[in-house]
Amino acid sequence: MPGFLLRRIALLIPSLIGITLLVFALLHLIPGDPVEALSGERGMAPERRAQLMLRFGLDQPLPAQYLRYVGHAVQGDLGNSIATGEPVLREFADRFPATLELSAAAMLFALLVGIPAGVLAALRRNTPMDYGVMGVSLAGYSMPIFWWGLLLILFFSVHLGWTPVSGRIAIEFDPPRVTGLMLVDAWLSGEAGAFRSALSHLVLPAIVLGTIPLAVLARMTRSAMLEVLGEDFIRAARARGLAPWRVVLRHALRNALIPVLTVVGLQIGALLGGAVLTENLFSWPGVGKWLVEAIHRRDYPVVQGGILLCAVLVIATTFVVDLLYGYVNPRIRHAR
């Protein structure tokens, strides 16, 4: 395990450096004047321009600028939004819990439905159930999720009126912000109906966002299970007289979940991309919506900072999942 840990950390550093380079390059690849891009001001007087260049450090050679950028970023200074003047990091932190809540709910949904579906499909191989699960899975990752969300809105919100169309909670509720997670804050506020409202607002977006991970997980679980079920030790476990459910759940699934964990890690990254789309569709006030608006507005500090933060988050989460994988896989856990 220690060797594995060290190797993973060693891979982490270049990835982080690479991301900062990429994001830094972003600003200088934009056609036009970087000073205008960073400040949002057009047609400035020369003195004003010189003043701004100094402030943004744009008079320095590129490598120095890069180091300056990284130095500031590490301290949390990612510039200020052109639109609001607020620090980019704070705007991100304000909106991130919303994205987190949505993504976590989506992943939970995907795990709770996808993995059992995959197990069932593997156990009932080549039966209608198997084909059904695989067919639904194929449809799931062929669908544009903004269309899927649209269909669900049409049915559940417009036609049935069961769920709301946008937002995180009904307008009449305004629970004080403790964690930033609406479900938790609504619960803590103690207001009657607040939690329920928050839940009903979360349900549809979470299902929409979780559909593709669900489809992928179902498929992967099925194929991992099929592979494990064909292994000798499963047959040996049966030969010892162990109960079938025990063989399947305790032995087969446990082994099958190891490769599935890798897939979960990959899906976390994909969730963020999907979150951008879902937030825009449901007007969910998260990071994704903020980022896209910034691009339309040409709010470059936000674009740059937002992408950097999202990328760092994805790399960090993948790293954690990697470590978890190392722990869960007994060969790696016991290695030197």
Partner 1 sequence: MPADNLASSAPKLAPDLAPVSPGTAFWRVFSANRGAVAGLVIAVLLIACALFAPSLAPHSPLEQYRDAVLKPPAWMQGSDPRFLLGTDPVGRDLLSRLIFGARLSLGLGLVSVTLSLAFGVLLGLLAGYARGWGDALVMRIADVLIALPALLLAIAVVAVIGPSLVNTMIAVAIVMLPHYVRLTRATVLQEREREYVLASRIAGAGPLRLMFSVILPNCAAPLIVQATLGFSTAILDAAALGFLGLGAQPPAAEWGAMLAGALEFIETAWWVSSLPGLAIFLTVLAFNLLGDGLRDALDPRLRQ
Partner 2 sequence: MSLLEVRNLTVQFGPRERPVIAVEGLDLELDAGEVLGLVGESGSGKSVASLALMGLLAPQARVSADVMRYDGRDLQALSARERRALLGREIAMVFQDPHASLDPCFSVGDQLMETLAAHHGGPRAKLREQALDLLRQVEIPDPEARLKAYPHQLSGGMSQRVGIALAIAGNARLLIADEPTTALDVTVQAQIVALLLRLQRERGMGLILISHDLALVSQLAHRVLVLYAGQEMEQGPVPALFEAPRHPYTEALLRALPEHNRGAARLQALPGNVPAADARPAACLFSPRCPHAQARCHAERPALEGPGDARVRCFFPLADAQRHPLGAPA
- List contacts with partner 1 (CB under 8 A): 14-15, 18-19, 22-23, 26, 29-31, 138-139, 141-144, 146-147, 150-151, 153-154, 158, 229-230, 232, 235, 269-274, 276-277, 280-281, 291-292, 295-296, 300, 303, 307, 310-311, 314-315, 318
Is position 232 an interface residue for partner 2 (rule: CB under 8 A)? yes
**Which residue among 41, 59, 174, 231 contacts partner 2 (CB under 8 A)?**
231
**Helix residue ranges, H only, the chain:** 2-29, 34-39, 46-56, 62-75, 88-123, 128-142, 145-152, 182-189, 194-229, 232-239, 244-245, 254-282, 287-297, 300-328, 330-333
**Which residue among 57, 71, 76, 244 contacts partner 2 (CB under 8 A)?**
244
Residue type present at position 65: Q
Are 99 and 181 within 8 A, CB to CB? Answer: no
Selection from partner 1, partner 2, none that 254 binds (CB < 5 to 8 A by kind) is partner 2
Is position 238 an interface residue for partner 2 (rule: CB under 8 A)? yes
Tokens of 109: 């949904």
The rounded distance, in Å, linking the Cα atoms of 80 and 39 is: 9
Are 225 and 252 within 8 A, CB to CB? Answer: yes
Is position 326 an interface residue for partner 2 (rule: CB under 8 A)? no
The CB-of-236 to partner 2 minimum distance in angstroms stands at: 4
| Residues 229, 233, 234: CA angle, nearest 5 degrees | 35
Nearest to 197 by CA among 225, 173, 222, 223: 173
Nearest residue (CB) to partner 2, 214 versus 229: 229
Tokens of 169: 């909670």
Nearest residue (CB) to partner 2, 193 versus 244: 244
Nearest residue (CB) to partner 1, 19 versus 44: 19
Give the Å distances, CA to CA, from 227 to 122, 220, 234, 247, 259: 9, 11, 11, 14, 11
Give the Å distances, CA to CA, from 137 to 140, 151, 220, 224: 5, 17, 10, 15
Nearest residue (CB) to partner 1, 96 versus 187: 96
The rounded distance, in Å, linking the Cα atoms of 37 and 5 is: 41
What's the burial of 192, exposed, middle or buried (CB within 10 Å: 0-12/13-18/19+)? exposed
The CB-of-235 to partner 2 minimum distance in angstroms stands at: 6
Are 183 and 101 within 8 A, CB to CB? Answer: yes
The CB-of-324 to partner 1 minimum distance in angstroms stands at: 17
**Which residue among 243, 249, 316, 320 contacts partner 2 (CB under 8 A)?**
243
> Number of residues in contact with partner 2, rule: CB under 8 A?
22
Is position 255 an interface residue for partner 2 (rule: CB under 8 A)? yes
Is position 239 an interface residue for partner 2 (rule: CB under 8 A)? yes
The rounded distance, in Å, linking the Cα atoms of 245 and 258 is: 19
Are 289 and 280 within 8 A, CB to CB? Answer: yes
Is position 241 an interface residue for partner 2 (rule: CB under 8 A)? yes
Nearest residue (CB) to partner 1, 193 versus 230: 230
The CB-of-30 to partner 1 minimum distance in angstroms stands at: 5
Nearest residue (CB) to partner 2, 48 versus 235: 235
Selection from partner 2, partner 1, none that 313 binds (CB < 5 to 8 A by kind) is none
Selection from partner 1, partner 2, none that 331 binds (CB < 5 to 8 A by kind) is partner 2
Q: Which residues bind partner 2 (CB under 8 A)?
A: 231-233, 235-244, 246, 250-251, 254-255, 258, 330-331, 334
